[in-house]
Amino acid sequence: MNKHSCFRALVWLGLAVATPLIVGAQGIDRQDETIQSSRRDSTGQPVAVNVIYESSTNAPKAVLLIMPSLAAPTKNAAASTRELHPHEPEHYPLSRNRESLLQSGLALAWMGWPSQSEFGISGTAHPDMQKDIASVIERARKRWPKAPLVLTGTDGGAHTALAYALERSGTVNAMLALSPHWLRERSENVESLKRLKTLVLHDSSGECMGFAAPEVEEIARRAGFTRIPVHQSSVGQMGRCSAKSAQWLPQADGQLAPLLTKWLDNQALPAHLGANDPVFVLTERVIFGQSDAGSMEITIFTPPGKGPFPLLIFNHGDVEMDQSYIKMKERFREPIVAAAFLKLGFAVAVPARPGVGRSEGTYRYGQYALGDGDPNYKARQHSAAVLAALERLSREPDLNLKQVLLAGQSAGGDTVMYMSTLALPGVRGIVNFSGGRTNHRAGENPNFENKMMIEGWAELGRSAKEPVLLIFAENDSRFTPNTIRKSAQAFRDAGGQAELLLLPPIAGDGHFVYYSPALWGAALGQYVAARNMGNQALGPLAHMAEKGTQKTHPELFDLSRLPTKGAGCKDLFLRFLNLSLPRFFSAGASGRGCGYSYGPEAAEGKAVALCQQYGTQCILYAKDNELVKPLYAADPPVAAKPSTEPL
């Protein structure tokens, strides 16, 4: 019997496989254990879950059951660090404060990902994942029957913890959430958790824009959680979500263990951790206005300072009906484009049109004629919500309504093109990212010459009041370069002022060029400076230099290396190349299947799980800007050069 068969036999008998107990130099006991979940995988085998137990005492004050991280541990960390924290990156607060937590009498149970976790993008809330967690909890209870069990998670792990608690709160004694990413949870019945003792710690600086404080504050308030912000004492770097970000609570180091001890003992807790005089990189708030359809949700980002700030109103593109913005009422934020304008000293407002987020009404999607006799009808209809937002924003004292830019992407860009004709008080410019009217169906190639858009822009140009900055890419899936150029020229010929920045093809779909501020940031700065608006001295965005290019990372952009050769996966990889960091791309080793994960909850496991939904064995192909060697295809053979010798 080989070792793999032996392992399966032990699991079938319901036994745990554990390494010998390890006693650390400072009296810390550690044990690695592989336990059997209560469910089976697709082949009928029991699912295995690895757990690492650590404690400095046989009778711990409490057990922190730490949910698996959605971020992989750093591969270039010291071997000793990887051994101690195989399930959690070393820059996470629990990893950094591990020794002090153990010495304070707490036990730590680090849960790894189950052997089968093909749950897709919402996997952390999947019922199968919850069965696995329940099995780990049962085992931890047997190990420390008298110790309270605290369900614990950082960032995406806090999403896992909250999802589990919403279904099975009676199986744990308390919950600890560190830097939670709870954008989609506000539609949940979190009031049901009021009896669950819960502590939430989060960064207050706003440095990482992927983290949304308003949702954390709201959920904590509705659920009765104890929430403690962690204040920073130095100026951060806007847009930085790396291991050095304030999101990972560096100011809590040395204070975390005593804080948890007080919390568990029901003692009085401080109102905050960290600096008494905090520094904020940006602030984010949510207000509500009134549109024709009812209440309208508006997100406002403001840069450091007191204002009043010049204002950018950004209008989102069409939202598909199965997206979380409609199904789960997730708030529409657009942090990437918002950061670009914040860096220029603008406040940024993002109104949600009817039916999106918590804006009341029904979202109109796909209800417009492809050959509309009035090519500006859709834009004019959408503009009603923007006008309502403009009126509501005029009542915010920190916003300067005498210096306003209107911007939008796709349908939102089409909307602000129409609004350039309205002579609105205080509006001094229009920025259109890939916006116009399409005259082809979804999935079809755009028409070489979209006469509806060209004629519509000619009509707008005759009455346009404000100069427009047009930002497009040549590989836009909605409009051909011919249509883009002719539409801009028609607008100018009719009397409008327009500057066209038509970028060469970019990675992925050029329709989403607004996700790449490195490509248009300079043009935007010049446009804003020409309007005598904003602050040009605030410097570049932190994430502008993060994404590799074909020049800096030629291997990454070489599609011949992809193990999967299907057109669909090639298209998906091109989109991956245009995504922000962190990001992971997985490919099927057998030549089919692919998947990616990016953003604040990016994880190698999620990318692989998405790929394996195609029924194939998948491997990690790319991480951030690098190919994962040696897993990608070998260098393609070098073609023989034509001989220059005489025959």
Give CA–CA dist 617/501, Å, rounded: 43
Query: Closest by alpha carbon to 139, among 67, 36, 13?
Result: 36
Residue 416 lies in a domain: yes
Residue 72 lies in a domain: yes
Q: How many domains does one find in the chain?
A: 3
Residue 78: band (very low, low, confident or very high) from pLDDT cuts 50, 70, 90: very low
Give CA–CA dist 626/507, Å, rounded: 15
Tens-digit pLDDT profile for residues 330-340: 999 999 899 99
What tokens were used for 103? 């010495």
206 Cβ contact partners less than 8 Å away, ≥ 6 residues apart: 213, 236, 238, 280, 281, 282, 283, 284
Residue whose pair of structure tokens reads 């847009």 in the numeric block? 239
pLDDT at residue 645, rounded to an integer: 29
Give CA–CA dist 217/358, Å, rounded: 16
Residue 436: band (very low, low, confident or very high) from pLDDT cuts 50, 70, 90: confident
pLDDT at residue 539, rounded to an integer: 47
Residue 536 lies in a domain: no
Residue 578: band (very low, low, confident or very high) from pLDDT cuts 50, 70, 90: low
Residue whose pair of structure tokens reads 């905050």 in the numeric block? 272
Q: Which residue has the higher pLDDT, 13 or 347?
A: 347
* Three-class secondary structure assignment of 375-442: CCHHHHHHHHHHHHHHHHHCCCCCEEEEEEEEEEECHHHHHHHHHCCCCCCCEEEEEEECCCCCCCCC
Same domain for 125 and 229: yes
Q: Check: CB of residue 574 under 8 Å from CB of residue 477.
A: no
Angstrom CA distances, 231 to 74, 92, 248, 268, stand at: 26, 17, 12, 19
Same domain for 200 and 98: yes
pLDDT at residue 121, rounded to an integer: 38
Q: Which residue has the higher pLDDT, 378 or 304?
A: 304
Same domain for 199 and 161: yes
Identity of the residue numbered 526: Q
Distance of CA 21 to the CA centre of its chain: 39
**Domain residues for 365?**
289-530
Same domain for 398 and 309: yes
Distance of CA 151 to the CA centre of its chain: 23
Angstrom CA distances, 379 to 362, 410, 419, 463, stand at: 17, 11, 8, 15
Same domain for 206 and 165: yes
H/E stretch holding 417: helix 411-419
Angstrom CA distances, 410 to 317, 416, 432, 462, 513, stand at: 5, 10, 8, 22, 10
pLDDT at residue 195, rounded to an integer: 96
Give CA–CA dist 341/312, Å, rounded: 7
Does the pLDDT of residue 91 top 70, yes or no?
Answer: yes
Does the pLDDT of residue 10 top 70, yes or no?
Answer: no
pLDDT at residue 19, rounded to an integer: 44
78 Cβ contact partners less than 8 Å away, ≥ 6 residues apart: none
Same domain for 444 and 564: no
Same domain for 143 and 23: yes
| Share above pLDDT 90 across residues of the chain, in percent, rounded to a whole number | 49
Same domain for 480 and 341: yes
> The CATH number of the domain where 95 resides is what?
3.40.50.1820
pLDDT at residue 235, rounded to an integer: 74
Query: H helices of 211-272, where?
Result: 213-223, 256-264
Mean pLDDT value across residues 437-443 = 64
Distance of CA 503 to the CA centre of its chain: 25
Mean pLDDT value across residues 566-571 = 76
pLDDT at residue 20, rounded to an integer: 41
Residue 493 lies in a domain: yes
Same domain for 318 and 265: no
pLDDT at residue 541, rounded to an integer: 41
Identity of the residue numbered 172: V
Query: Closest by alpha carbon to 204, among 120, 256, 142, 281?
Result: 281
Residue 537 lies in a domain: no
Residue 549: band (very low, low, confident or very high) from pLDDT cuts 50, 70, 90: low
Same domain for 323 and 467: yes
Longest dimension (CA), the chain: 92
Same domain for 301 and 267: no
Residue 552 lies in a domain: no
Beta bridge partners of 433: 409, 471
Residue 440: band (very low, low, confident or very high) from pLDDT cuts 50, 70, 90: low
- Domain C-terminal end among 530, 551, 573: 530
Does the pLDDT of residue 647 top 70, yes or no?
Answer: no
The pLDDT mean for the chain works out to 83
Query: Closest by alpha carbon to 313, among 209, 423, 428?
Result: 428
Residue 302 lies in a domain: yes
- Domain C-terminal end among 243, 274, 305: 274
Give CA–CA dist 39/190, Å, rounded: 27
Q: Is 496 helix (H, G, I), strand (E, B) or coil?
A: coil
- Domain C-terminal end among 274, 300, 318: 274
Give CA–CA dist 644/516, Å, rounded: 45
Q: Give me the DSSP letters along 60-110.
A: -SEEEEEPPPSSPPPTTS-HHHHHH-TTS-TTSHHHHTHHHHHHTTEEEEE
Mean pLDDT value across residues 155-159 = 90
Same domain for 440 and 300: yes
Identity of the residue numbered 382: H
Give CA–CA dist 137/255, Å, rounded: 27
Residue 147 lies in a domain: yes
